[in-house]
Amino acid sequence: MEKGQNFNHPKKGSRIEVEPIRGEKDIKAIIQLLSGHPRDHLLFVMGINNGIRVGDLLNIKVGDVRYLKPGQVHQITESKTKKKNVVVINKSVRKALDTYFSNSISQIENHHYLFRSRKGENFPLSVQAVHGLVKKWTQAINLKGNYGTHTLRKTWGYQQRTKYGVGFDVIAKRFNHSDPKTTMTYLGIEDKEVHSILMNEIG
């Protein structure tokens, strides 16, 4: 490595792909790490349970999701693609929302951004701030690799494929990818990783 070069940043003219969080124990470790930080806990849980871009998560207002029950959705228009998509409220997300609202030290109004910056105004966190948070969380549990904002989205896809066996065509549709091969490459999933889960014994 050249003098002054940061291993977490690509060389000029190249790029480093961020990774999904592959291990379930690592996911649980971050959830435990964030247990005393309701906003960040909600951000992580909602991110890994939805698979949408962080920028779209940050656009959500409190009133969009405050009263939604598990199984209900909030319609969004993706800021990057302008395509329609949804934010899904499952039981884990609903529980994280309840924890966030019940532990807030200040009044949370429906017009507030769900993931407000702590600067005092009604501004959402920036994508850059979330990038730093994800790096901080993964470093705190000594997780090797390169992580950032896309880690949350990729973790959703990776876990759906390897843990639940969801097809790449379904995940590609959720990601608004043009084809499943793009999704496979995006998630960094190799054939051997998919095949290995078939050796898991059930019953």
Residue 100 known to be catalytic: no
From the list 22, 41, 53, 174, the catalytic residue is 53
Q: Are 148 and 133 in contact (CB under 8 A)?
A: no
Which residue type is seen at 194?
A: V
Residue 74 known to be catalytic: no
C-alpha 144: how far from chain center: 18
Which residues have C-beta within 8 Å of that of residue 65, sequence separation ≥ 6?
A: 74, 87, 89, 97, 114
From the list 80, 111, 119, 144, the catalytic residue is 80
Q: Are 146 and 16 in contact (CB under 8 A)?
A: yes
Q: What is the dihedral of CA 91, 93, 97, 100, to 10 degrees?
A: 120
Residue 80 known to be catalytic: yes
Residue 186 known to be catalytic: yes
Residue 37 known to be catalytic: no
Residue 53 known to be catalytic: yes
From the list 39, 41, 116, 153, the catalytic residue is 153
Provide the terminal-to-terminal Cα distance of the chain, rounded to the nearest Å.
Answer: 49
Three-class SS of residue 146? coil
From the list 22, 39, 116, 150, the catalytic residue is 150
What residues act catalytically?
53, 80, 150, 153, 177, 186
